[in-house]
Structure 1
Amino acid sequence: MTVRQLSLPELAKGLVELGVPGVGLWREPVAAHGLAATARLVRDAGLRVTTLCRGGFFTAEEPAERAAALDDNRAALDEAAELGTDTLVLVSGGLPPGSRDLFGARERIADALAELLPHAAERGVRLAIEPLHPMYAADRCVVSSLDQALALAGRFPAERVGVVVDTYHLWWDDRVADGIARAGAEGRIHSFQLADWTTPLPEGVLNGRGQIGDGAVDFRWFDREVRAAGYTGPVEVELFNEGLWARDGLEVLAETVARYRAHAL
């Protein structure tokens, strides 16, 4: 999504030329290119699909909506397995219209995870709960902190349900160091993602993630904490940014790699 202006073949070629060994994919461009064609493309390029994004949206109260969400997540697990990734990232869902019951919404997430677990295990895919910044709690994700994500994940085996550490969503939390250490000790860090927090936020904060080095996030601190917790997996950069999308995608790709080396390593 950082360079959504690129086609998947353009993206794969650009990554190979830059020496980047993997790519986190989103379901929409995969569907547009074709699931089998995408799996073949990344395989032929020698790339690893690090994660598939996204599943989730488990908080609906209406039975029909809930059943549809579960069916969609089963499909996402099938897609992840076809692409060869072991991790499906979950954006858990916000409050249903008219509801103020955060605790009830979180319990419905736990219920959904329990229902999906057998299918996930069958496909060899882990469920990775991504806490989102509290500003998204009402409409996108009632899981707002690493503590909350770990409380949900902790009800299930670590090899099946874990968490995403995303700097954009967690940089503000004074408990995040303890959460990272706990997640590492439990073997629950299933993905590590980078994006910067810049101010003022643009209109429509969903697309306000800053390029690495442009904002307030201490990426070296996060990298040090995550690695000290035992994480040795891939590091993804996930930027939703209208300004970046308006630029040449290959230029943005190269800039992102350079920024990662300059600010995170």
Structure 2
Amino acid sequence: MTGGLTIGQAAAFVEVTIKTVRHYHRLGLVAEPERDGSGYRRYRSADLLRLVQVRTLATAGVPLAEIGDLLEADPEPFAAALDDVARRLTERIEHLIARRDTLHRLTGGDRLLLPDRACAVLERLTDLGFDPDYVATQREALVLARALIPEIFDGFLTRLEHSLDDPGYVELTKRAVEAASWDPDDPRIEELASLLTHKLLGDRALLSMPPRSRSDTAARYGAVNHHREDRAPAVARLNALIETNLRAAGIDVPYQ
């Protein structure tokens, strides 16, 4: 190659930028050519070959910090090093695929934070005619339950599934939703609390309570069971009465 190439020509031939070539020089991956009589560095075929080798390995995912040693390695360690790079690339690909799948799940709303089984319960509430605000509150409570008391989450879902199969319980729950607009001292609240307690005690095995192994168990349970009560004093009283009735029946409901 008579005269050699300028850095701009060399970069264009190898399909990288001039900045990239200079970066390779700074890292010691490609030696800087000697300057000619006019003061310009001229890249010859050997320089271009080295640039192609470095660019190819970098494009394949080999970290720049490893390329220098890799190019000086014998065939056997070279192959082993490439296998290691391939393994790491596979791990990165799997990680990126997982992140992509998470982004796709974002478009599915609930399914990012809740398992399909919980989403089916929420869909069932909608199908049964529950108010959208109530469904939204239950969605939030399920997210909290899964995060704060995961040890009883499956049992909690099982109770919900069984409850939604009981028309009587569904009707009482709809009355409880209506109770949000009642006065907290409305005498109907005590009656409704008694009826709901009776339904809950109909199958004690489904009343999953969190173990007392943590000092903050009551706070965790309360954050879930009393979610959004501050917006509806009548519902807060209804839940408090139900918890009192359950404790009286021997159910170990944590005190908040």
Q: Which has the higher contact order (CA 8 A, sep 6+)?
A: 1
Q: Which has the larger radius of gyration?
A: 2
More helix by share: 2
Q: TM-score, normalised by structure 2?
A: 0.24
Q: TM-score, normalised by structure 1?
A: 0.24
